Amino acid sequence: MVVSVVEFQNCLQQHATATAALVSWCRVRYPGRAETLSATVLQDGPADPRHYDGALNLLPDDVLFCRRVRLQWGDLVMSEAENWYLPKRLPETMRSALRRSNRPFGAVVAPLAPLRTTIAMLTGAELRGEGELATRLRAQISRAGVFSAPEAFALHVTAVMTAAGVELAELREHYRRELLEAPGYSVTNSERL
């Protein structure tokens, strides 16, 4: 079977969170390696809103946090993500879970029945190209200071997550090339990113 980045994009569209999409994807392509997705938290804490360059509509009294993680299926890193979130808009139990666990953001907020609105999507090849969006995304990855080089990624997605019409987070998701390279699967040359 040939796996393309388009197949993974379709998988993302079929799930309310990237976490749910990754679990579904990995259970089929990496059976037996893990049963759940875990997050290695690289950074999590307050962020200065003056340095935020995203799509969230911040109110004057909003507290902004930035959580940077690597999402793993067993020992394989599948995604590296940056979650700019508004903790005051989450129940205390969820804020506590984000601070104290290795659960991905999407798994923690799943009980809120969140909705994702994709605002940008670039393949790895598009990221290496010219254009304002690619340049801005490369700069964001570099500024984070904890992510792999852009060449390590097959797909980049920026989305806003809401629940009951309230903005919760901006998600900057960088999906690793390994996601498309499961044993028994291959990526076509035309889709190789």
The answer to whether residue 192 sits within a structural domain is: no
The CATH number of the domain where 109 resides is what?
Answer: 3.40.1410.10
- DSSP string for residues in 176-190: EGGGG--TT-B--TT
The answer to whether residue 191 sits within a structural domain is: no
Provide the residue range defining the domain that includes 56. Answer: 5-180
Name residue 133's amino acid. L
d(Cα 156, Cα 137) in Å, to the nearest integer?
Answer: 9
Q: pLDDT at residue 188 above 50?
A: no
3-state secondary structure of 1: coil
User: Any residues with CB less than 8 A from the CB of 20 and at least 6 apart, and which?
Assistant: 106, 110
Reported as half-sphere exposure (CB side, CA atoms, 13 A), residue 132 has a value of: 1
d(Cα 138, Cα 141) in Å, to the nearest integer?
Answer: 5
Q: pTM of the predicted model, to two decimals?
A: 0.88
Query: How many domains are contained in the chain?
Result: 1
The CB density around residue 104, as the number of other CB atoms within 10 Å, is: 28
Q: For position 1, what pLDDT does the model report?
A: 40
pLDDT in tens, 124-177: 889 888 899 999 888 889 888 899 888 899 999 999 999 999 999 999 999 999
Which residue did the predictor score with more confidence, 76 or 188?
A: 76
The answer to whether residue 187 sits within a structural domain is: no
The answer to whether residue 173 sits within a structural domain is: yes
Task: Kindly tell me the sign of the dihedral angle through the C-alpha atoms of 146, 150, 153, 159.
Answer: positive
Q: Which own/partner contact pairs does 84-93 have at CB distance under 8 Å and 24+ positions apart?
A: 84/47, 84/52, 84/54, 84/56, 84/169, 84/170, 84/171, 84/172, 85/168, 85/169, 85/170, 86/56, 86/58, 86/62, 86/167, 86/168, 86/169, 87/63, 88/62, 88/63, 89/166, 89/167, 89/168, 90/168
d(Cα 61, Cα 59) in Å, to the nearest integer?
Answer: 6
The answer to whether residue 114 sits within a structural domain is: yes
The answer to whether residue 121 sits within a structural domain is: yes
The answer to whether residue 189 sits within a structural domain is: no
pLDDT in tens, 9-67: 999 999 999 999 999 999 999 988 888 999 999 999 999 998 899 999 999 999 999 99
The answer to whether residue 186 sits within a structural domain is: no
